């Protein structure tokens, strides 16, 4: 007797003018999941990578040279708090951008 595999969805990005697809994602979410949600979740990876790069290079997450767990915890807390502040400033529609 064969074993049934769980259903999966293949999401393919094939931009106009391209000869072949440029990206693929496989999802094991329920078949009732909306395609728009699958696309949003597949592309969130880029946002996460951007935020990590910002934390690491712009806010000094990788500059910690201490030796204690408590020191590391304080350093990470300050870096992520700074990133949260900058993100809120960037998303605030009332903030004026320099001309």
Which residue ranges make up each domain of the chain?
A: 51-91
Q: How far apart are the first and last CA of the chain?
A: 70
Residue 99 has pLDDT above 80, yes or no: no
Residue 95: predicted pLDDT: 66
pLDDT band (50, 70, 90) for residue 1: low
Distance, CA of 13 to chain centre = 18
Rounded CA separation 89/68 (Å) = 32
What pLDDT, in 10s, does the model give residues 52-88?
A: 999 999 999 998 888 899 999 999 999 999 999 998 9
The answer to whether the beta carbons of residues 60 and 76 sit under 8 Å apart is no
């Amino acid at each position: 007797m064969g074993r049934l595999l769980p259903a999966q969805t293949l999401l393919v990005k094939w931009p106009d003018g391209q000869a072949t697809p440029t990206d693929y994602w496989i999802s094991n979410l329920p078949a009732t999941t909306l395609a728009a949600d699958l696309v949003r979740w597949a592309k969130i990876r880029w946002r996460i990578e951007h935020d990590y790069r910002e934390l690491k290079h712009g806010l000094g997450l990788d500059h910690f040279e201490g030796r204690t767990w408590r020191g590391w915890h304080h350093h990470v807390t300050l870096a992520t708090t700074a990133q949260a502040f900058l993100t809120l400033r960037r998303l605030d529609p009332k903030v004026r951008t320099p001309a």
